[in-house]
Amino acid sequence: MTTEPRTARGQETKRRILEAAEKVFAEHGYQGASVSKITTAAGVGQGTFYLYYPTKHEVFVELVDDLNQRVRQAMSTGSQRGTTRLESEREGFREFFRFAAEHPAIYRVVREAEFVAPEAMRRHYTRIVDGYVQGLTTARAAGEIDPDLDTRVAAWALMGVGEMIGMRWILWEGSDGEVPDSVLDQMTRFIRQGLGIARPTESAAEEHS
């Protein structure tokens, strides 16, 4: 739905607009953001915006999709660091929180977007949940988690836990917030038990005080 530039110069311009959009949306929210704020931030003329995006709504959608891709990438990277299911979850969340802390936009803007671009939002959440479902299904097959758990419901529950904790400790605690280890520990404990994962052996350090 967006127009692809045909020259290198154009691509550069479009990229700058998208970056500016992220900054502006993050600072003012969807409604508070205006095309003119975006173009000013990007250092281009107002009309230039419409060369690449038909509407303000459309940049927003592209931005959400872009952020979604990046956050999933981050989570996936974190997840692969873990050797057990639990470690995977924990590291996935850690990366998620880190990403969120570096891009508070994703929280604020994405949450606000439910009203303004529902499809984009659903795509966003669904994609993340799909990742969880896959991981959980594999884990269940391997006997690592409660065999009676519905992986889809569990996945949405995990999503919710992560989102809420993130909102509370990252967004609310000032802009450079970070989820403290103690909270991450408690959260991991809750999730471990919720998923029915056996308690790690004493040697395994669950509690990184």
Partner DNA sequence: AATGAATGAGAGTTCATTCAT
Partner DNA sequence: TATGAATGAACTCTCATTCAT
Q: Tell me which residues touch DNA (CB under 7 A).
A: 5-7, 9-10, 12-13, 32-37, 44-51, 54-57
Handedness of CA 73, 77, 78, 80 (dihedral sign): positive
Q: Which residues, other chains included, contact 209 with Cβ-Cβ below 8 Å and sequence gap of 6+?
A: 181, 182, 185
Contact call for residue 54 and its own copies (CB under 8 A): no
Task: Tell the smallest beta-carbon distance from residue 24 to DNA (Å).
Answer: 10
Q: Based on CB atoms, which residue is closest to its own copies, 66 or 161?
A: 161
Alpha carbon of 113 to those of 29, 31, 110: distances in Å? Answer: 9, 10, 5
Task: Tell the smallest beta-carbon distance from residue 135 to its own copies (Å).
Answer: 16
Contact call for residue 157 and its own copies (CB under 8 A): yes
Contact call for residue 195 and its own copies (CB under 8 A): yes
Q: How far apart are CA 190 and CA 119, in angstroms?
A: 31
Q: Give the gyration radius of the chain's Cα atoms.
A: 19
Contact call for residue 82 and its own copies (CB under 8 A): no
Q: Which two tokens stand for residue 80?
A: 């692969």
Q: How far apart are CA 131 and CA 128, in angstroms?
A: 5
Q: Which residues, other chains included, contact 58 with Cβ-Cβ below 8 Å and sequence gap of 6+?
A: 1, 2
Amino acid letter for position 159? M
Among 5, 23, 116, 137, binds its own copies (CB under 8 A): 116
Contact call for residue 178 and its own copies (CB under 8 A): no
Contact call for residue 163 and its own copies (CB under 8 A): yes
Task: Tell the smallest beta-carbon distance from residue 123 to its own copies (Å).
Answer: 12
Among 127, 149, 177, 178, binds its own copies (CB under 8 A): 149
As a whole number of angstroms, the longest Cα–Cα distance in the chain is 63
Judged by the rule CB under 8 A, the positions of this chain that interact with its own copies are: 29-32, 108-109, 111-112, 114-116, 122, 125, 146, 148-150, 153-154, 156-157, 159-165, 167-168, 171-172, 182-183, 186-187, 189-191, 193-196
